[in-house]
């Protein structure tokens, strides 16, 4: 007899992910319509992405190259030839009643992604088109075909992930690799959608469809794991099915009984050519691959940074490049410290370093720290303010004045003079007293203000008071 509670305590969770990664190509997969997200609904459309009768797709080579790059970065075999198929289904988001995808032979397969020392096997990477976007209103729905035909890569893992946290880490790593390859916009995390397969104790596989982003994937798996355990504890069996995750409710609900892939009736797409590459072509792409996050991390560790710092620095491509650029000029530990402060600040504001062009100001801050013109506390404050101003798209002039300390919400002169006036009988030549007064000033300013400047004003104030 199986000791169920004991077994439940063990990690028996198996998770496989099918992730849709939107590519940041300028135009759509099979037509020249723009992929920009800012357009008004149904303005970036043509006969191809609207699926009008008689229209023919033309393949976007940039999307194919992106697929090969990701395939190679994940250690996959690039298949040549591979081809496109039509996945037939009827739904308003797919106006031609089939989606062009790859089924029988994907462009890449049999790779892996490393999470620390653990190898997550990648089953396949294939190219497909995005369906249109449906916006559900109270008693009607709207369709925006701007999204129809945007290029996606679908990345499918083997069920090698064993915890909700690990699944989230996988998604983060996958998006990071794609960011380094410059095929994916990291600010687009929410549009990276995953179908998640979850099973416990080798039982039936439950698929949760279409989860946006990383955090929700973790939450959905967590919920599903608990739900399946509870089903088993009541002596029932987990039913193989498709479920939907509601981010609002934080739970999954039955969607429909799962159809098999063959139920879709894939047929060969006759309007597109086979994808064929010579070995030389593949090698050329391999040799021109961008430096990947793991490689960069190793490089930073060799420079003498600790692993955790290196890991944080490579967590965004723009940040890793900022570090590399500035550590040519300043001490690497100093640069690393302030890069991490910047990362903390942008994370707090929910943005990526790449989204604000902070490099010139950031270099100036380091310059000032390096020459002791400002202290760490002030530098942190300036970084915080600059990030806020950049988010609001404020003019650089306003940013520049931060360096003069003018934009603190207090007048340093006033505070120092007040402190001095309250202690006018004290002798500044005594270092203990000087430190005490500096401490008083910093208490008022909550740690802001350059020490040399404070001493200067204190001494000046002394003269006046006599």
**Where does this chain bind Zn ion (CB under 5 A)?**
31, 33, 46, 48-49
Instruction: Enter the tokens of residue 33.
Output: 């319509």
Alpha helical stretches, state H, 197-316: 215-233, 279-287, 293-302, 307-313
Other CB atoms within 10 Å distance of the CB of residue 141: 11
Instruction: Considering the complex, state which of residue 16 and residue 57 has its C-beta at the smaller distance from Zn ion.
Output: 57
Closer of 33 and 305 to Zn ion (Cβ): 33
Nearer to Zn ion, 33 or 437 (CB): 33
Structure tokens, 166: 């690990």
CA distance linking residue 46 with residue 28, whole number of Å: 11
For Zn ion, the closer CB: 42 or 407:
42
* Closer residue to Zn ion, CB minimum distance, 58 or 372: 58
CB of 127 to Zn ion, least distance (A): 17
Q: How far is the CB of 313 from Zn ion (least distance, A)?
A: 40
Nearer to Zn ion, 42 or 355 (CB): 42
Give the number of residues written for the chain: 466
From the CB of 27, what's the least distance to Zn ion, in Å? 8
Nearest distance in Å: CB 183, Zn ion: 20
In whole angstroms, what is the distance from residue 295 CA to residue 72 CA?
14
Give the integer Cα–Cα distance in Å for 148 and 22: 12
What radius of gyration do the chain's Cα atoms show?
28
What span, in angstroms and rounded, lies between the C-alpha atoms of 380 and 241?
51
Distance, in Å, from the CA atom of 423 to the CA atom of 434, rounded to the nearest integer, reads 11
Find the shortest distance in angstroms from Cβ 25 to Zn ion: 13
CB 51 → Zn ion: shortest distance, Å?
Answer: 10
Closest of 331, 301, 328, 330 to residue 314, by C-alpha: 301
Helix 376-391, helix 332-348: angle, nearest 10: 40
């Amino acid at each position: 007899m199986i000791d169920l509670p004991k077994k439940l305590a063990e990690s028996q969770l198996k998770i496989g992910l099918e992730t849709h990664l939107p590519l940041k190509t300028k135009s759509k997969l099979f037509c020249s319509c723009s992929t920009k997200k800012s357009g008004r609904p149904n303005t970036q459309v043509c006969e191809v992405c609207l699926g009008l009768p008689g229209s023919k797709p033309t393949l976007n080579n940039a999307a194919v190259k992106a697929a090969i790059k990701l395939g190679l970065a994940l250690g996959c075999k690039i298949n040549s030839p591979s081809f496109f198929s039509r996945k037939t289904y009827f739904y308003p988001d797919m106006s031609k009643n089939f989606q062009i995808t790859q089924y029988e032979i994907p462009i890449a397969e049999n790779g892996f992604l490393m999470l620390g020392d653990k190898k997550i096997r990648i089953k396949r990477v294939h190219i497909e088109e995005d369906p249109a976007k449906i916006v559900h209103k109270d008693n009607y729905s709207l369709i925006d075909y701007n999204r129809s035909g945007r290029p996606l890569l679908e990345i499918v893992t083997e069920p090698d992930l064993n915890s909700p946290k690990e699944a989230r880490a996988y998604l983060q790593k996958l998006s990071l690799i794609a960011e380094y390859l410059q095929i994916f916009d990291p600010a687009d995390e929410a549009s990276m959608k995953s179908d998640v397969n979850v099973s416990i104790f080798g039982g039936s596989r439950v698929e949760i469809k279409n989860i946006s982003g990383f955090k929700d994937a973790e939450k959905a798996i967590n919920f599903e794991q608990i739900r399946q355990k509870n089903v088993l504890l009541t002596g029932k069996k987990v039913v193989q099915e498709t479920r939907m995750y509601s981010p609002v409710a934080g739970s999954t609900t039955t969607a429909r009984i799962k159809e098999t892939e063959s139920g879709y009736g894939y047929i060969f797409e006759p309007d597109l050519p086979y994808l064929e590459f010579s070995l030389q072509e593949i090698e050329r792409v391999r040799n021109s691959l961008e430096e990947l996050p793991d490689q960069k991390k190793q490089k930073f560790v060799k420079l003498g940074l600790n692993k955790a710092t290196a890991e944080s620095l490579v967590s965004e491509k723009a940040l890793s490049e900022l570090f590399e650029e500035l550590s040519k000029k300043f001490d690497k530990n100093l640069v690393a410290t302030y890069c991490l402060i910047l990362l903390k600040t942008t994370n707090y504001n929910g943005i990526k370093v790449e989204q604000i062009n902070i490099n010139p100001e950031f270099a100036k801050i380091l310059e000032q720290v390096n020459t002791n013109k400002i202290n760490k506390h002030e530098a942190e404050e300036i970084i915080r303010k600059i990030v806020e101003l950049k988010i609001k798209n404020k003019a650089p002039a306003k940013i520049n004045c931060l360096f003069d300390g003018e934009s603190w919400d207090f007048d340093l002169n006033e505070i120092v003079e007040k402190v001095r006036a309250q202690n006018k009988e004290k002798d500044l030549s005594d270092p203990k007293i000087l430190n005490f007064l500096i401490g008083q000033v910093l208490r008022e300013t909550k740690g802001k203000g350059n020490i040399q400047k404070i001493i200067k004003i204190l001494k000046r104030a002394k003269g006046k008071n006599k």
